[in-house]
A and B are shown apart, each in its own frame.
Chain A
Amino acid sequence: MSDIRPRVRVPRTASAGESVLLKTLISHPMETGQRRDGSGNVIPRWIINRFTCEFNGRNVIDMALDPAISTNPYIEFEAVVDETGEFTFTWHDDNGDVYTDTQSIEVA
């Protein structure tokens, strides 16, 4: 489904050693596998099961997600930046797809 779109909010600039708050969102139904359709058949589980963030290749956070995460998973967390660089965010889908987004930050 090509409607799966990530959106991240990263501050443009920061001072060296500062901890910045990152807000991430990806549009995804996060089908729990608990619902039934009109005919009573179970709608199969389909979720983002893993989210990671790296800064200049170094890991910030690695999260395993279960069906209890809401639709359009929103995750916020903090990263410490010591130099100008790039954040790479990845979302791993149950069906094997991996969605990525990158954002740069300038560090004074």
Chain B
Amino acid sequence: MKFSRREALVLALGSAAAAAIPLPALAAVEQAIADFTGGAAVAEGGITLTTPEIAENGNTVPISVEAPGAVAIMVVAAGNPTPGVCRATFGDQAGAQMFGARIRLAGTQDVVAIAQMADGSFVRASNEVKVTIGGCGG
């Protein structure tokens, strides 16, 4: 392929601009999810993630997640400096596949919960939480 000098310059600038777009946060969340699922496909439904619509204080946001029949549930926060929030594995004595906790959210973002079901499949739910005052100390 023969590029004119002008075309080559535009191509170079274009790819530099594309590379400079800050997508590290998005990549980190997808990586965390891929580590949990091993790259398997993730369906929607079968998992309920309860979060407040607006969190007055990002330092303590109550969440709860339930997924009947799940073996493990992972929660990640897409907009935090590091996406991991927690990962619960349920034993024989678990009464329900659910837990509630209070988490920190740095700002308005999506909270994502992924459950690994007993048959090895994965399901996810995601809620946007608006945060008034960020809670990661930044």
**How many residues of B are counted as interface, with CB atoms below 8 angstroms from the partner's CB atoms?**
33
Residues in A whose Cβ lies below 8 Å from that of B87: 63-64
A20 touches B95 (CB 8 A): yes
A70 touches B92 (CB 8 A): no
Residues in A whose Cβ lies below 8 Å from that of B95: 18-21, 60, 77-81
Question: A58 CA to B94 CA in the complex, in Å?
Answer: 10
Q: Given contacts A69-B86, A79-B94, are A34 and B99 in contact (CB under 8 A)? A: no
Q: Given contacts A34-B137, A34-B138, A59-B93, are A66 and B85 in contact (CB under 8 A)? A: yes
Min C-beta distance of A50 to chain B, whole Å:
10
Per-residue B-contact encoding for A22-60, CB less than 8 Å = 1, 0 else: 000000000010110000000000000000001110111
A60 touches B99 (CB 8 A): no
Instruction: For the complex of A and B, list the 9 residue pairs with the smallest distance between their C-beta atoms, beginning with the closest.
Output: A59-B91, A19-B95, A78-B95, A35-B137, A66-B84, A80-B95, A70-B102, A78-B96, A60-B93
What are 26 A-B residue pairs whose CB atoms fall within 8 Å in the complex?
A: A19-B95, A19-B96, A32-B81, A34-B81, A34-B137, A55-B93, A59-B93, A60-B94, A61-B88, A61-B99, A63-B86, A63-B99, A64-B88, A68-B103, A69-B85, A69-B86, A69-B102, A70-B59, A70-B135, A77-B94, A77-B98, A78-B94, A78-B96, A80-B93, A80-B95, A81-B95
